[in-house]
Amino acid sequence: DRFLGEKSLVVRPLDPRLGKVQDITGAAFLEDGSPILIIDVLDLVRSLDKILANISINHVKTKEETAWHQSSKHILVVDDSITVREMERKLLENKGYKVDIAVDGMEGWNAVRIGHYDLVISDIDMPRMNGIKLVHNIKSSPQLKSIPVIIVSYKDREEDRLQGLEVGADYYLTKSSFHDDTLINAVIDLIGKNDD
């Protein structure tokens, strides 16, 4: 409601044993020693968006639409290029999948820890956390390792492909796969067609 002030603080990460704390990115200490939590703005906006989306679904969806929405396969697309994100989103939504997007690896990592996804599609070269690290984190987590991951990259570099598959990616595709059915076929292979 109002601006209280501005402070320079040393932001410290939360203890990893806490796991992902929703909407919080870290902590700091004030001059008097009081601890404060640092809000993850992107996470907070995503949480608010989910709350608002659920409210609108509850008010306007018919029983049939709600049943379809719940049975839809849910995919997370992680890419720092808005053009690529939107192309992938439209391509997948046209096949009946429910799609969320994340603008970089860190936002994708936060989303996958607090959401429920049947599949993650990720770019490699992104700020804050690259796609290789994102896949490694997903496949190293006991709760998330069963989620299939497709890496889609502009570059057809053999070292990237090997590294992606080494950390656990199920497919490594180049972005030329948008022009044919390669991406959709990979999605269907991993999670099946969306039930109509």
Position 168 scores a pLDDT of 87
Report the C-alpha gap between 74 and 115 in whole angstroms: 10
Tokens of 67: 């049943």
pLDDT tens track of the chain, all 196 residues? Answer: 788 888 888 888 888 777 777 888 888 988 888 888 888 888 887 777 777 665 544 445 455 544 444 567 899 999 988 888 888 888 888 888 999 999 888 999 989 988 889 999 988 888 888 888 999 999 888 888 899 999 888 777 777 778 878 888 888 888 766 666 888 888 888 888 775 4
pTM across the whole model: 0.63
Position 119 scores a pLDDT of 92
Position 118 scores a pLDDT of 92
- b/e sequence 53-73, b meaning 16+ C-beta within 10 Å: eeeeeeeeeeeeeeebeeebb
Position 115 scores a pLDDT of 86
- In the chain the domains, ranked by start, together with CATH numbers, are 72-191 (3.40.50.2300)
Position 5 scores a pLDDT of 82
* Dihedral sign from CA coordinates of 80, 114, 150, 196: negative
| DSSP codes, 153-181 | ES---HHHHHHHHHTT-SEEEEGGGGGSS
Position 112 scores a pLDDT of 92
Position 62 scores a pLDDT of 53
Adjacent-strand bridge partners of 27: 12, 37
C-alpha neighbours within 13 Å on the C-beta side of residue 17 = 0
